[in-house]
Amino acid sequence: MSEVHVARRALLRERCAASAPQDGPADAVLVTRPANIRYLTGRPPHGSALLLGPDGVDTLLGPANPETSLQHHGGSSSDDLRTDRLENCEGDTAVAAADLAVSAGARSLAVEEHHITVARHRAMASVADGLHLTGLACPVEQQRVVKDEEEIAALRIAAEITDQALGELLESILVGRTERHLALELERRLIDHGAEGSAFPTSVATGRNSGLGQHRPTDRRVEEGDFLSVRLGAQYHGYRCQIGRTFVIGTAPEDWQVELYDIVFAAQRAGREALTPGTACSDVDRATRQVLDAAGHAGALGFVTGHGVGLEISEDPRLSPGAMGKLDACVPVTIEPGVHLPGQGGVRIDDTLVVRPAADGGPELLTITTKELLAL
């Protein structure tokens, strides 16, 4: 993997040199956002800062805590990445990086202004007198949007694990169990099947709670006749996927349940089918949204109907009315519409898919658990 990381850092340097803001490109670049550090180094990012120095040397500065796991303590490692630990135990790695940038001859340093706080920025400016701090915008986030096949393979395994965990739950007795317990059992099963952990907190919603995307599991027990909506995902090699499904408890769903399910299913299918390279992100959102609008559920949706996934569970692109840009091939996204009727419950259906050209068979569905309305 280390060659991959070297190449990613080289590409970032090229992009930064080419982007050239008003005053010309910065001499050095500082990356502090954890997922970006992981993407560029493959290392656990906790509390670290990655400096791409003016001298061509890349340095990962880690906190002093003897327990954190930078692989090397000072000196070069196999992938041309220097690693250093702070000597000053209470120091800030970004501040130390600014200091190091000056020592290495940098006169300007581009920082992730969307991640670094005002207070930290000021501390950097005060230690590195004469160093001009500029904004880095989001080139690493942009690099992360299109995944390579190794990244997609990790997501595919994450999705397999997720499908397995969910499949096992569906075979067990559900009536009488609480949302909290079902969520914990799903998380345990993710681990059982090889996940590093949950991609995000598992949501299990029953009865009146069903269909709420961000619902936190409560002590409510599953009852006959309930809708049961679940949303979960595994993390594997750092990559996070997402699935959402809604079931009905008991043998005969009521008419309103079947009707609502069909609407959300149609909206979700419309979104999935819109996933082709070159399609505007806002058009994918519209495809999903207009099915719900036509059925009188215009107000049900939040401001996105899907989003990219990868080292973070919600990353670029956003599928929303105001989203800019178009989809590329090899971009994994979710399609996740839902309708919640207050006091009654609702339906969510979420999938993770990879955008692929029609010639390659169209969008690759990673989360393959059935979307039929199962009565459990």
Residue 73 found at the interface with a copy of itself (CB under 8 A) = no
> Three-class SS of residue 174?
coil
Q: Whole-angstrom distance between the N-terminal and C-terminal Cα of the chain?
A: 43
Q: How far is the CB of 20 from a copy of itself (least distance, A)?
A: 20
Count of residues that interact with a copy of itself, criterion CB under 8 A: 37
Query: In terms of Cα–Cα distance, which of 16, 15, 80, 96 is closest to 42?
Result: 80
Which residues ranging from 119 to 158 are in contact with a copy of itself (CB under 8 A)? Answer: 119-122, 135
Residue 348 found at the interface with a copy of itself (CB under 8 A) = no
Residue of 17, 20, 89, 375 interacting with a copy of itself (CB under 8 A): 89
Contacting range for a copy of itself; rule: CB under 8 A; set: 60-68, 162-170, 221-229, 282-290: 60-68
Residue 66 found at the interface with a copy of itself (CB under 8 A) = yes
Torsion-angle region of 194 (φ positive above 0: left; ψ -120 to 50: alpha; else: beta): left
Contacting range for a copy of itself; rule: CB under 8 A; set: 74-82, 112-120, 249-257, 361-369: 112-120
CA distances from 340 to 257, 314, 320, 351 (A): 11, 22, 19, 18
Contacting range for a copy of itself; rule: CB under 8 A; set: 2-10, 233-241, 282-290, 315-323: 315-323
What residue ranges in 131-265 does DSSP mark as E strands? 132-135, 197-198, 203-206, 227-232, 234-236, 239-240, 243-248
User: What string marks each residue from 15 to 44 as x (binds a copy of itself by CB under 8 A) or -?
Assistant: ------------------------------
The kind and range of the H/E element at 36 are helix 34-41
The residue with tokens 């493959």 is: 42
Q: How far is the CB of 312 from a copy of itself (least distance, A)?
A: 16
Q: How far is the CB of 269 from a copy of itself (least distance, A)?
A: 23
Which residues ranging from 176 to 215 are in contact with a copy of itself (CB under 8 A)? Answer: 180-181, 184, 187-188, 191, 212-215
- d(Cα 272, Cα 337) in Å, to the nearest integer? 11
Residue 282 found at the interface with a copy of itself (CB under 8 A) = no
Q: How far is the CB of 143 from a copy of itself (least distance, A)?
A: 19
Q: How far is the CB of 117 from a copy of itself (least distance, A)?
A: 6
Query: In terms of Cα–Cα distance, which of 191, 199, 292 is closest to 239?
Result: 199
Residue of 90, 149, 171, 255 interacting with a copy of itself (CB under 8 A): 90
How deeply is 284 buried, as exposed, middle or buried, from its count of CB atoms within 10 A (0-12, 13-18, 19+)? buried
Torsion-angle region of 10 (φ positive above 0: left; ψ -120 to 50: alpha; else: beta): alpha
Which residues ranging from 237 to 276 are in contact with a copy of itself (CB under 8 A)? Answer: none
Residue 68 found at the interface with a copy of itself (CB under 8 A) = yes
The kind and range of the H/E element at 306 are strand 306-308
Residue 325 found at the interface with a copy of itself (CB under 8 A) = no
Q: Which tokens in the block code for residue 85?
A: 């630990």
Phi, psi of 207 (to 5 degrees): 55, -125
Residue 172 found at the interface with a copy of itself (CB under 8 A) = no
- Side-chain half-sphere of 139: how many Cα atoms within 13 Å? 22
Q: How far is the CB of 90 from a copy of itself (least distance, A)?
A: 5
Residue 117 found at the interface with a copy of itself (CB under 8 A) = yes
Residue 118 found at the interface with a copy of itself (CB under 8 A) = yes
Residue of 14, 19, 114, 259 interacting with a copy of itself (CB under 8 A): 114
The kind and range of the H/E element at 37 are helix 34-41
Q: How far is the CB of 265 from a copy of itself (least distance, A)?
A: 20
Give the nearer residue to a copy of itself in terms of CB position, either 147 or 307: 307
| Residues 220, 222, 226, 232, CA torsion sign | positive
How deeply is 137 buried, as exposed, middle or buried, from its count of CB atoms within 10 A (0-12, 13-18, 19+)? middle
Point out which residues bind a copy of itself (CB under 8 A).
Answer: 64-68, 89-90, 111, 113-122, 135, 180-181, 184, 187-188, 191, 212-215, 299-300, 302-303, 320-322, 340
